[in-house]
């Protein structure tokens, strides 16, 4: 509840690293708290990353694991002056948030809450998001560190702690120093429901379609002007209406999603995100999309287009399948903590998706964060405690 009161919103339009300096306010506090626990090497670097080591309690050579969470909160909802509220022994009734009584958290909208009756639930007060995404993960890792530093009799190898900035704007691992991190594999603490274990994410590309028209003075444009804005309209209108989009797909279905458009008669730019769990499908989607552009262009003689694909991230399953022990250790740790693991695929990506491809296989463990990126965000204290339990078991299981 202390951590969420520090505004750490990231900013997709900023070019600085980290995108907002205020993220370091929390990171500095975390370093101070880690040092107070006896973790001497805790440091915050220029780029906004916190690195720290819970030292090994065994001389045996065991893999070094990394526990990772992000300090930033989503730009989708205000993260300023967050007032966390603790609802003890939640009874299943609607939670009306006091600072905006229109914001009501109910079991109808959030059926997972039915499973959490009797827990202590933390919410925001109605004007902001809570920031459990991912300060729940931060808290779980800090609590794990606190426990392990106080219990040297627990046998485990070195554990590297990594707190990243800018996950919410897709730049969470842009400036991470993998050499310095020096871990064999890792776990992000950034998942939702108790029991969920995420080892599969989307594979993701971005596509920029630039449509070029032919400009002319509108008074003398007959037979000359080709309007790129109208080409764009024809193109977008030709996309399937009942499939192939985020609003019409779920589960393992992928999509093609125009996220931004700008321009005018001479030139119009449309940015797409392309998503599927199967990486090879991205190229199929892209060639189908290019076919739709071509068909639209054909209706406007003289118009041209550019079609540029940029890789964003890849399904971490491709990496995790090569090292099945990383998921197996996690499953064992869940069971040791009395939680039945459920392998889940994310319709999105995490820091772990990208870390997996730069040398740190990294599935995602739940923290209880729910209703994320909204004023209805909430988290169960008992879910966070379970996640902490799991991290402590995980450290021992890997050492065994
Ligand atoms: Zn998150």
pLDDT in tens, the chain (400 residues): 999 999 999 999 999 999 999 999 999 999 999 999 999 999 999 999 999 999 999 999 999 999 999 999 999 899 999 999 999 999 999 999 999 999 999 999 999 999 999 999 999 999 999 999 999 999 999 999 999 999 999 999 999 999 999 999 989 999 999 999 999 999 999 999 999 999 999 999 999 999 999 999 999 999 999 999 999 999 999 999 999 999 999 999 999 999 999 999 999 999 999 999 999 999 999 999 999 999 999 999 999 999 999 998 899 999 999 999 999 999 999 999 999 999 999 998 878 999 999 999 999 999 999 999 999 999 999 999 999 999 999 999 999 9
Ligand 1 centroid to Cα of residue 69, in Å, is 8
Q: Which helix (H) or strand (E) holds 70?
A: strand 65-70
Given this model, what pLDDT does residue 368 score? 98
Q: Residue 200 to residues 189, 241, 354, 355: CA-CA distances in angstroms? A: 15, 28, 12, 13
pTM (two decimals): 0.90
Q: Which residues contact 244 (CB under 8 A, 6 or more apart)?
A: 255, 256, 285
Q: What is the pLDDT of residue 348?
A: 85
Residue 240 Cα to ligand 1 middle (Å)? 31
SS (H, E, C) 31-54: HHHHHHCCCCCCEECCCCCEEEEE
pLDDT score at 10: 97
- Predicted pLDDT of residue 170: 87
Gap from CA of 372 to ligand 1 centroid (Å): 8
pLDDT score for 351 = 87
Ligand 1 geometric centre to CA of 338 (Å): 24
From the CA of 233, how far away is ligand 1's center (Å)? 34
Give 60-63's long-range contacts (Cβ < 8 A, gap of 24+). 60/157, 60/399, 62/156, 62/157, 62/398, 62/399, 63/157, 63/184, 63/185, 63/398
Q: What is the set of active-site residues?
A: 72, 167
CA distance linking residue 215 with residue 264, whole number of Å: 10
> Three-state SS for 101?
coil
């Amino acid at each position: 509840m202390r951590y969420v009161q520090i505004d750490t919103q990231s900013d997709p339009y900023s070019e600085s690293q980290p995108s907002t300096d205020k993220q370091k306010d929390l990171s500095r506090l975390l370093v101070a708290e880690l040092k107070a626990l006896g973790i001497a090497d805790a440091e915050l670097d220029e780029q906004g990353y916190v690195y720290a080591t819970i030292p090994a309690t065994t001389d045996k050579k065991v893999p070094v694991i990394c526990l990772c969470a992000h300090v930033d909160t989503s730009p989708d909802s205000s993260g300023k002056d967050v007032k966390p509220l603790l609802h003890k022994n939640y009874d299943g009734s609607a939670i009306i948030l006091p600072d905006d009584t229109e914001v009501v958290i109910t079991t109808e909208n959030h059926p997972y809450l039915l499973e959490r009756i009797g827990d202590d639930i933390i919410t925001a007060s109605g004007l902001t998001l809570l920031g459990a995404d991912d300060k729940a993960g931060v808290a779980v890792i800090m609590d794990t560190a606190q426990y392990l530093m106080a219990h040297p009799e627990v046998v485990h190898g070195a554990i590297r702690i990594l707190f990243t900035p800018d996950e919410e704007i897709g730049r969470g691992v842009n400036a991470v120093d993998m050499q310095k991190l020096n871990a064999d594999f890792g776990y992000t603490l950034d998942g939702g429901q108790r029991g969920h274990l995420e080892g599969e994410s989307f594979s993701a590309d971005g596509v920029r379609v630039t449509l070029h028209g032919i400009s002319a003075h509108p008074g003398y444009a007959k037979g000359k002007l080709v309007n790129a804005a109208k080409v764009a309209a024809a193109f977008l209108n030709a996309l399937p209406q009942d499939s192939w989009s985020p609003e019409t797909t779920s589960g393992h279905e992928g999509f093609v999603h125009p996220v931004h458009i700008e321009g005018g008669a001479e030139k119009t730019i449309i940015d797409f995100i392309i998503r599927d769990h199967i990486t090879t499908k991205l190229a199929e989607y892209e060639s189908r999309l290019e076919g739709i552009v071509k068909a639209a262009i054909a209706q406007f003689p003289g118009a041209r287009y550019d079609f540029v694909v940029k890789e964003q991230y890849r399904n971490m399953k491709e990496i995790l399948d090569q090292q099945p022990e990383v998921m197996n250790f996690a499953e064992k740790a869940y069971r040791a903590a009395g939680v039945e693991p459920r392998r889940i695929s994310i319709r999105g990506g995490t820091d772990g998706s990208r870390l997996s491809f730069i040398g740190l296989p990294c599935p995602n463990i739940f923290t209880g964060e729910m209703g994320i990126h909204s004023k209805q965000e909430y988290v169960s204290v008992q879910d966070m405690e379970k996640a902490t339990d799991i991290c402590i078991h995980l450290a021992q299981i890997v050492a065994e």
